[in-house]
Structure 1
Amino acid sequence: MHTVEVFADVLCPFTHVGLRTLVEQRTRRGRTEPRLRIRAWPLELVNGNPLDPHHIAAEIVALRASVRPDLFAGFSVETFPTTSMAAFALTAAADRTGDPAVVEEVGLALRNAVFEEGLDIGRLDVIEPIADGFGLDVLDGQDTAAAVHADWAEGRARGVVGSPHFFAEDGGDWFCPSLAISRDDVGNFVIAWKQGTDAFLERVLS
């Protein structure tokens, strides 16, 4: 099965847009491959702090205003997780199956839960029903930490810049290939589709 690897944080809104866009374009072409092998790029470890829900909210306002008004319908600052680790306990369990389809579907389901349903996927009692739907058992804390740190170390070795960072089978790699992100004069996020978005999609989906 052909795959595209993506190093990403499960709470990154830019990743939610990038993954959904690629999958939608793949579906429009009548294809089921490449599948997305989504690896952990744990921003709370990279940055040394949990993600700030108000900062995420500002990013989402800009994303909805410019590129994806159809996404983030259920996002809530109040229920935004304080950690990605419970979700990574499930993504790592999915990765252990060796099935790229399961890895992709679990990754999309978790992002849908937090961004479209407003669920706190930092809580195991929220994660476990999602895991049950895929017939998976979440990993314990020690195994989760080992899996996350292994992905993080591999990502650094491969030159990952941030979330999301895509790697194609032909050797191509792109950091956040779909979105151009900047700020205006008063500090508000300004987001647009990157000029090379179509070329990126054509390359990974051809």
Structure 2
Amino acid sequence: MRTIEVFADVLCPFTHVGLRTLVDRRGRYGLTEPRLRIRAWPLELINDGPLDPHHIAAEIAALRGSVRPDLFAGFSVDAFPGTSMAAFALTAAADRTGDPALVEDVGMALRNAVFEEGLDIGRPEIVEPIAVRFGLEPLDVEATSAAVRADWEEGRTRGVIGSPHFFAEDGSGWFCPSLAISRDDVGNFVVAWKHGTEAFIDRVFG
């Protein structure tokens, strides 16, 4: 099965847009491949602290206002997770199966839970029903930490610079290939489709 690797944080709204854009386009083309092997790029470890829900809300407002008004319907600042590790415990368990379709489905389900359903996937009891749906047992704390740090280290050696960072089968890579992100004069986020987005999508599905 053809795959595209993506190093990404499960709580990154730009990743949610990037993954959904590729999955939506794949469905529009009537294709089943390539699948997305979503690896961990743990922003809370990289930044030495949890993501700020108000900062995430500002990013989401820009994304909804410019490129994907159909997404983030259930996002809640109050329910935004304080950690991604409970979710990574499940994504790491999925990755251990070696099944690219399962890896993608679990990664998308967790992102839909936080961004479309407003669920706190930082809590193991919220992640558990998703694990049951896919017949998986989340890894324990020690195994999760080892798996996440292994992905982080591999990503660094391969030149990952942020979430999301995509790699095609030929080894070529793109950081956040779909979105141009900047700030205006007063500090508000400005997001637009990046020049070359269609070329990237054609490369993926070509």
TM-score, normalised to structure 1's length?
A: 1.00
Gaps (5+ residues) in structure 1? Answer: none
Unaligned runs of 5+ in 2: none
Compute the displacement of 1:171 (Å).
Answer: 1.8
> Deviation at 1:29?
0.8
The residue correspondences of 1:21-170 to structure 2 (distance < 5 A) are 21-170=21-170
Deviations 1:113-170 (A, max 9, x none): 0000000000000000000000000000000000000000000000001000000001
In the alignment, is residue 201 of structure 1 matched against residue 177 of structure 2?
no
Match of 1:191 in 2: 191
d(CA) in 1 for partners of 2:175 and 2:198? 15
Task: Compute the TM-score of the two structures, normalised by the length of structure 2.
Answer: 1.00
Distance (Å, rounded) in 2 between the aligned partners of 1:4 and 1:34: 6
User: Which whole-Å CA distance do the structure 1 matches of 2:197 and 2:37 have between them?
Assistant: 20
Cα distance between partner residues in 2 of 1:16 and 1:172: 21
Question: Which secondary structure state, in structure 2, belongs to the residue aligned with residue 202 of structure 1?
Answer: helix
- What corresponds to 1:175 in structure 2? 175
Quote the RMSD (CA, aligned, Å): 0.3
SS class of match (1:177): coil
Letter paired with 1:53? P
| Mapped partners of 2:196, 2:50: distance in 1 | 31
Counterpart-to-counterpart distance in 1, 2:204 and 2:46: 27
What is the CA deviation profile of residues 23-53 of structure 1, one whole-angstrom value per residue up to 9, with x for unaligned ones?
1111111100000000000000011110000
Question: What is the identity, as a one-letter code, of the residue corresponding to 2:43?
Answer: L
SS of corresponding position for 2:204: helix
Alpha-carbon distance in structure 2 between the residues aligned to 1:57 and 1:194: 21
1:60 shift after superposition: 0.2
Cα drift, residue 17 of structure 1: 0.1
Deviations 1:86-107 (A, max 9, x none): 0000000000000000000000
CA distance in 1, matches of 2:136, 2:46: 27
Paired with 1:102 and 1:171, the residues of 2 have a C-alpha distance of 22
How far apart are 1:70 and its partner, in Å?
Answer: 0.2
Aligned counterparts of 2:205 and 2:27: Cα–Cα separation in 1 = 10
SS at match of 1:19: helix
Between the aligned partners of 1:171 and 1:123, the Cα distance in structure 2 is 35
Distance 1:77 1:59 in 2: 12
| CA–CA separation in structure 2 for the residues paired with 1:70 and 1:64 | 7
Residues matched between the structures, number = 206
In structure 1, C-alpha distance between the alignment counterparts of 2:35 and 2:156, rounded to whole Å: 22
The one-letter amino acid of 2:153's match is A
